[in-house]
Amino acid sequence: MTDPIRLLRELDAQHFTSGTMIAERLGISRASVSTALAQAEQFGITLERRSGAGYRLEQDIDWLSLDTLQQYLPPDSILHITLADTLESSNRQLLKNPQHGHVLACEWQTGGRGRLGRRWLGSLGGSLMFSLAWQFNGGPAQLAGLSLAVGAIVAQSLREAGVAQIGLKWPNDLLLQRDASAAQSGNPDNTDYAKVGGILIEMQGDALGPAQVVIGIGLNLSFPHHWQDELDQQAGSLQAAGLRDSRNALLGRLLGALEQGLGQFTQSGFAPMLAQWESLHVWQMQMVNVIAPDGQTQTGQLLGLAADGSLRLLCCDGEKLIHTGDVSLRRLA
């Protein structure tokens, strides 16, 4: 079965390209071309078909390219980057051999993984989906606050790329505050914030030796509206919120910032980034319900973070610390 992405690479938005020409270029049958391109919509892109002329994209796809990406990386970067068209999950793939500084980015995931066992959807050419392997010689003990540090690094980079409204929900959801007109009453958690990105950190290594960590990041540069029905959370788009970077420029910017920020985290831990994280925290000092996986709910005011990155919640019977990221937060109106 031909990977439809290989075929989509033959198309652009300026010309119609005939199925016969694609078949010849790729050495496949005309029937395989039409079968593969029949699935184009599942990638979140729109394809125009004209009989006698062939296929044309509604919009050019901003493909990832190593040459372009390198222009946006610091010259002394140690990162080793691999690009792929289709993977089941970049995290899953990189976890098989997580070498320090290796990055795996892809155009499409067939089984993208989100936090709390959820799946992660990205659109072709409209998302960034990548994983970075990093080794911590201090072992798992060195990792307290890592997911928060990564959230702060990514959110700060997005602000620098023009997304002024980006913020963080503990532990590391990347949210956009939507304008007041979009935030009509109802459940405030689902109406006035839209998720534009997420971070999934997975680990290998035993309790005593070095820890190999895979940091997976998914960002919606654009997001097909009709996919919203498949999600239990409002999704948003970074381009609609002012993102100026192309996909390659943003990936380069993020990788440069992660390389530098993880170096600093390795030296000094999360504490120096705590104030920055709180300044990006969308629900700082607000009232929330914290819902555990078994449904148990605690209500309180979010005071911010403790030094180890746990969440400080002021309940009616005093301050509590939330350590586990397995909880869901719901803001109260």
- Contact footprint for ligand BTN (CB under 6 A): 89-91, 109, 112-115, 118, 120, 129-131, 173, 198-200, 216-218
The nearest distance, CB 214 to ligand BTN, in angstroms, is 8
Q: Shortest gap between Cβ of 232 and ligand BTN (angstroms)?
A: 11
Counting DSSP H helices and E strands in the chain, the numbers are 9, 14
Smallest distance, Å, CB 319 to ligand BTN? 27
Q: Cβ closer to ligand BTN: 17 or 93? A: 93
**Total length of the chain:** 333
Least distance from C-beta 311 to ligand BTN, angstroms? Answer: 16
Nearer to ligand BTN, 116 or 164 (CB): 116
Residue 57 or residue 106: which is nearer to ligand BTN going by CB?
Answer: 106
Q: Residue 133 Cβ, how far from ligand BTN at the closest point, in Å?
A: 12
Least separation in angstroms between residue 41's CB and ligand BTN is 21
Q: Which residue has the CB atom at the shortest distance from ligand BTN?
A: 198
**Residues whose CB falls within 8 Å of the CB of residue 107, separated by 6 or more in sequence, listed in order:** 5, 63, 64, 83, 84, 85, 86, 124, 125
Nearer to ligand BTN, 113 or 247 (CB): 113
Q: Are strands 80-87 and 102-109 parallel, antiparallel or unpaired?
A: parallel
Beta bridge partners of 197: 174, 219
Query: CA 297 to CA 314: how far, in whole Å?
Result: 14
Residue 8 or 254: the one with the smaller Cβ distance to ligand BTN is 254
- On whether the CB atoms of residues 136 and 128 are closer than 8 A, the answer is no
Contact 303, 319 (CB under 8 A): yes
Instruction: Name which of 91 and 156 has its Cβ closer to ligand BTN.
Output: 91
Q: E strands along the chain, which residues?
A: 47-50, 54-57, 80-87, 102-109, 127-136, 166-169, 173-177, 193-204, 211-220, 287-291, 297-305, 311-315, 318-322, 328-331
Name the region of 116 (left: φ>0; alpha: ψ -120 to 50; beta: rest).
Answer: left
Strands 54-57, 166-169: pairing is unpaired
Q: How far is the CB of 35 from ligand BTN (least distance, A)?
A: 27
Q: Name which of 130 and 223 has its Cβ closer to ligand BTN.
A: 130
